[in-house]
Amino acid sequence: MSNPDHSTDGGHVTLATLRRLRQYVAPHRYALVGSGLAALVATLAGLAVPLVTRAIIDGPIARGDLSSLPWLVLGVLAFGLVEAGLIFLRRMLVARPANRIEAAMRADLFAHLQRLPVSFHDGWASGQLLSRATTDLSTIRLFVAFSGIFLIVNGLTMIIGILVLAWLSLWLGAIVAVAAVPLIAITLVLERRYTVAARRAQDQQGDLATVVEESALGIRVLKSLGRGRLLTRRFAEDARGLRGTELLKIRLLAALWTVLVMIPEAAIATVLGIGAYGVAQGTVTIGTLVAAVTVLTYLYWPIASLGWLLAEASNAAAATTRYWEVRDIVPAITDPERPAALASPVRGELVLRDVRFAYPGGDREVLRGVDLTVRPGETMALVGATGSGKTTLTALVPRLYDVTGGEVLLDGVDVRTLRLAELRTAVATAFEDPVLISASVRENVALGLPDAPDEDVWEALRVASADGFVAALPWGLDTRIGEQGMSLSGGQRQRLALARAVLGHPPVLVLDDPLSALDVHTEAEVEAALRRVLGNVTALVVAHRPSTVQLADRVAMLRDGRIAAVGEHRELLATNPDYRALLASLETDQREGVDA
């Protein structure tokens, strides 16, 4: 996996990271600010109660005149109702914006993943991407909706509470202010360590999700090979690593909570002792002492929650970092600034000129100067030994990868100068490994043309000799075929992928070994259908079977990343010993596959 591990470190980095959420938060700033103000005013309403309590003790109770007591009691009730109403308002204001922020970030991430080239997805584990799109964004939503707001509100509450104490008694306020210094210092130290552990835990969760996903998708292979115990051990090792990191987080939080409980309790005891001494000396009233202790008790939760809120901020910062690690990757394959246009109708001439290609990070070129011309309406079979670069070459035509040298021309236009949508409408591809989604047959076949009418879908199925088995399915086109189409046979999956490629009558077809998963009977049916299709389009077909070669007008043989020979099948068979040897090996491989 090539994704970097950028662990955040410290409060400055946390704030700088969280600041990147502004573009998503800004459209909802009024609702979020309103939510914060509602929480702050609710807190102030609660802080007013100790002041009323002081007025009651030092007023009606001390003087023995209870005439004003009912009004003061009603004042306490009014402040309580205001606090409750504002808490309700805060939740109502923040709920919808927070969910919209999460939805917008998830939609942008998904769209960005679609724009990133195949080379990116080759290097990233899908579980890491999945955890960024789900768990990490949920963490960010919680921060925006709750912990971020209360980190500010509770910090202001502590400051206001200390000012109230100083107003009640300068000495009592000074005691609490002094106690806040070590509290803040120790909290910041522990928070930095927690930030690193939080990032590590989120990365480990992504790795664990990858193991689960790979095991679920490959369950048939694992069971058939009896490798379940091996994957279980791997999962257990990753789970133990995550468990160790989570336990470290718990230890750090436990230390943080201990500090956040011990220091305020010590402050309360000190205020109570000095305040009682002041009452005995006549310098502090009983009402002031009760109000001061009540204020400190009221501040207990804002102070104690500071550690948890900072931990959530660290989690959110780590989640934000992981999110932007993917979003900051600039797509290597994009639409040109000034795109060229294909002539209409597309003739379908493919020309490869001195094409070179090396995979990102690779130390050698897979293709080293390929020159090839496929005439309009011609079917060109591409043959070669394993690793000769056949599949790589076909991926360059629709720009799944970009050439690192030379050029690929469609009707004389460099494919890199075309809009991707226009290029991939003109060039349809069917892969050796048919990829199906957990949806209906119709949705799978019409994946590139979602508005295609049923008649066109059925025509594409007939071309791919898939109409018979689809008609026999319980709900026909509406039958859901399950994740990866595993409820179907390999041949059925490949025929659906072939139907998807021919739907819409693209002028150019790129087929990567379209017959690899078919039995002998089905192969003959698909071959007959392909002959009809290939007669009307330009096709570049990777051939691993001799029968596929015979579908082509001409054959190009790849060897060591170059075109070693081009010609008709019979011509090459008669004149090229390397071609004969390659074809013999293909026949042997096919025979052994059938015998197996």
Dump the DSSP string for 277-331.
Answer: HHHHHTSS-HHHHHHHHHHHHHHHHHHHHHHHHHHHHHHHHHHHHHHHHHHTSPP
The H or E element that residue 410 is part of is strand 405-410
Judge whether 42 lies within some domain.
yes
Residues 413 and 277 in one domain: no
Edge-first strand order for the sheet with 508-512 is 427-430, 508-512, 538-542, 379-384, 554-559, 562-567
Cα separations (Å) of 521 from 300, 470, 518, 524, 525? 78, 17, 8, 5, 7
DSSP string, 119-181: HHHHHS-HHHHHHHHTHHHHHHHHIIIIIHHHHHHHHHHHHHHHHHHHHH-HHHHHHHHHHHH
**Structural domain contains residue 498:** no
The whole-angstrom separation of Cα 559 and Cα 566 is 12
Residues 189 and 241 in one domain: yes
The gap from C-alpha 168 to its chain's centroid, in whole angstroms, comes to 53
E strand or H helix that includes residue 549: helix 546-549
Q: Could you list the pLDDT tens digit for every one of the 596 residues in the chain?
A: 444 444 444 444 567 788 889 999 999 999 999 999 998 898 888 888 887 887 788 777 766 677 777 887 888 888 889 888 988 998 899 889 999 999 999 999 999 998 888 888 877 877 788 888 888 899 999 999 988 888 888 888 888 888 888 888 888 778 877 877 887 788 777 777 877 887 788 788 777 877 776 676 666 566 555 666 777 777 888 888 888 888 888 888 788 778 877 877 787 788 878 878 888 877 778 888 888 888 888 887 787 777 778 778 888 888 899 899 999 999 888 899 999 999 888 999 999 999 999 988 777 899 999 999 999 989 999 998 888 889 899 999 999 999 999 999 999 999 999 999 899 889 988 877 777 877 888 988 888 788 889 898 998 888 888 888 899 988 989 988 866 666 787 778 878 888 888 887 889 999 887 666 566 666 676 677 677 667 778 999 988 778 788 888 999 999 988 999 999 999 998 999 999 898 888 776 655 554 44
The H or E element containing residue 564 is strand 562-567
> What pLDDT is attached to residue 201?
84
**Do residues 393 and 558 make contact, with C-beta atoms less than 8 angstroms apart?**
yes
In the listed set 292, 327, 362, which residue is the last one of a domain according to the structure?
A: 327
Which DSSP state fits 428?
E
Residues 233 and 372 reside in one and the same domain: no
Structural tokens at position 114:
């679609």
Q: Is the same domain home to 301 and 360?
A: no
Is there a single domain that holds both residue 357 and residue 305?
A: no
At residue 9, the pLDDT reads 44
Give yes or no: residues 372 and 226 share one domain: no
Residue 221 domain-assigned?
A: yes
The continuous run of DSSP H or E covering 495 comes out as: helix 490-502
186 and 47 assigned to the same domain? yes
Shared-domain flag, residues 394 and 251: no
Task: Report the distance separating Cα 496 and Cα 453, nearest Å.
Answer: 16
DSSP class per residue in 375-406: -TT-EEEEEESTTSSHHHHHHHTTTSS--SEE
The β-bridge relationship of strands 405-410 and 562-567 is unpaired
Side by side, the strands of the sheet bearing 413-414 are 367-374, 350-357, 405-410, 413-414
pLDDT, position 118: 83
The tokens 């009912």 sit on which residue? 70
Does 419 share its domain with 285?
no
CATH of the domain at 244: 1.20.1560.10
Find residue 208's DSSP bridge partners: none
**Does residue 440 lie in a domain region?**
no
Q: Is the pTM of this model over 0.85?
A: no
Count of beta carbons in the 10 Å neighbourhood of residue 404: 16
What phi and psi, each to the nearest 5 degrees, are found at residue 406? 80, -160
**In this structure, what CATH number is given to the domain that contains residue 426?**
3.40.50.300
- 292 neighbors 58 (Cβ within 8 angstroms): no
CA 235 vs. chain centroid, Å, equals 21
Q: Is residue 340 part of a domain?
A: no
Distance in angstroms between the alpha carbons of the first and the last residue of the chain:
35
Last residue of a domain, one of 293, 327, 361: 327
Cis-peptide, bond into residue 345, ω within 30° of zero: yes
Q: How many of the other CB atoms lie within 10 Å of CB of 310?
A: 24
Q: Are residues 392 and 277 in the same domain?
A: no
pLDDT for 595: 44
Name the DSSP class of 350: E
Q: Report if residue 377 sits inside a domain.
A: yes
Residue carrying the six token digits 């005995």 = 280
- Backbone phi, psi, residue 554, to 5°: -140, 165
398, 544 Cβ separation under 8 angstroms: no
State the helix-helix crossing angle for 126-133 and 170-217, rounded to 10 degrees.
140
- How confident is the model at residue 80, as a pLDDT? 83
381 strand-pairing partners:
541, 555
pLDDT at 141: 92
In a domain, 560, yes or no: yes
User: Within a 10 A sphere around the Cβ of 454, how many other Cβ atoms?
Assistant: 11
Say whether both 298 and 423 belong to one domain.
Answer: no
Give a yes or no: residue 441 inside a domain.
Answer: no
- For residue 385, what are its two tokens? 């030994």
Tokens describing residue 201: 């835990």
Distance CA 454, CA 448 (A): 14
**Residue 41: domain span:** 11-327
CA–CA distance, 66 with 62 (Å, rounded to integer): 10
Indicate if 124 and 78 belong to the same structural domain: yes
For residues 87 and 36, what is the distance between their CA atoms, to the nearest angstrom? 10
| Total domains in the fold of the chain | 2
- Do 65 and 309 meet the contact criterion of CB atoms below 8 Å apart? no
